[in-house]
Amino acid sequence: MMLGKTAGGLFWMFRYLERAENTARLLEAGWHMALNRSSTASNEWQSIVTTAGVLNAYNQKYDEFSASHVINFLLRDKDNPSSVMNSIDLARSNARQVRTALSSEVWEAVNECWMILKQELARPVVERNLHDMLSMIRYRTSVVRGALYGTMLRNDIFAFSRLGTFLERADNTARILDVKYYLLLPSASFVGSSMDNVQWEVILHSVSAQRSYRWLHGGDISAQGIVDFLVFDRRMPRSLAFCVAETVQYLDQLEQEYGTRQDSQILAERMADRMSQNTIESVFQNGLHEFLAEFIADTTQLAKHIEQDFSFYG
């Protein structure tokens, strides 16, 4: 059985890498929203900070939500524990701790990602360079993921790495949907309507789902259709259902390898059952915000259970 410290290092290494990529995707989505809604741009920038979960830290430093402040706070500010640069720093730090568990290709990809982004984010990022910067962040994190897929054994090392990825990804997708729903729908009567479809389409873009959604649904862009796709469609690798299913799969693999059924596995199965029992109609009827808030709370609890079950800090 792997040492808990090693398991935790792998879990958090890939969680931080996913967080960096998700922050870049979120920032690009918010940037497009702000461009399309110039009259309420400050609200869009605020929504990005809120979705990223760093509103309190931001408010301690700034008293307005300007593009420059938000971009640099999320990308490179040392006072933001979840900034892209801080996340990449922490990913590399964890990678160094578990270096003997990684292939040389994975370690080199992480280290190169860190060196390049440290150099590029050493100075403030301006809006005219934002697209290129965000593309670079997504590319560099995807190279690490590709190295993992192409060079690592499908053993417990791989399982803990993927658990970190999918828990972080599920949490991010849920938060994007929740804040988007809260900001853009002024009344419950608009839920499921064709209102503000352009902005909902930006959310698809933020999770790299625009093209795949169109392949499946053509030009039928609606809030309900997009939420259904990002919550329940298991063909979509950033949907909540897909992430939960993958989490169950890797916890099952760890049960087979270690011969022990853990509390985290039971909670993940419970989340998967809830997914299969719900429909998009029931979610909207009972409240999308309530559904997402419960999902986020369950994801947080699941991460804590995984840490305890596998003695990350023991």
Asked if residues 165 and 18 have their Cβ atoms less than 8 Å apart, the reply is: yes
DSSP secondary-structure letter at 188?
Answer: G
Instruction: Check whether 181 has a pLDDT greater than 80.
Output: no
Asked if residues 39 and 193 have their Cβ atoms less than 8 Å apart, the reply is: no
Instruction: Check whether 32 has a pLDDT greater than 80.
Output: no
pLDDT in tens, 61-117: 999 999 999 999 999 999 999 999 999 999 999 999 999 999 999 999 999 999 999
Q: What is the rounded distance in angstroms from the CA atom of residue 186 to the CA atom of residue 165?
A: 33
Asked if residues 94 and 16 have their Cβ atoms less than 8 Å apart, the reply is: yes
- Model pTM? 0.91
Higher pLDDT, 219 or 257: 257
Angle, CA of 158, 148 and 269, to the nearest 5°: 35
Q: What pLDDT score was predicted for residue 184?
A: 55
Q: What is the rounded distance in angstroms from the CA atom of residue 240 to the CA atom of residue 265?
A: 17
pLDDT in tens, 203-236: 787 777 888 888 888 877 777 888 899 999 999 9
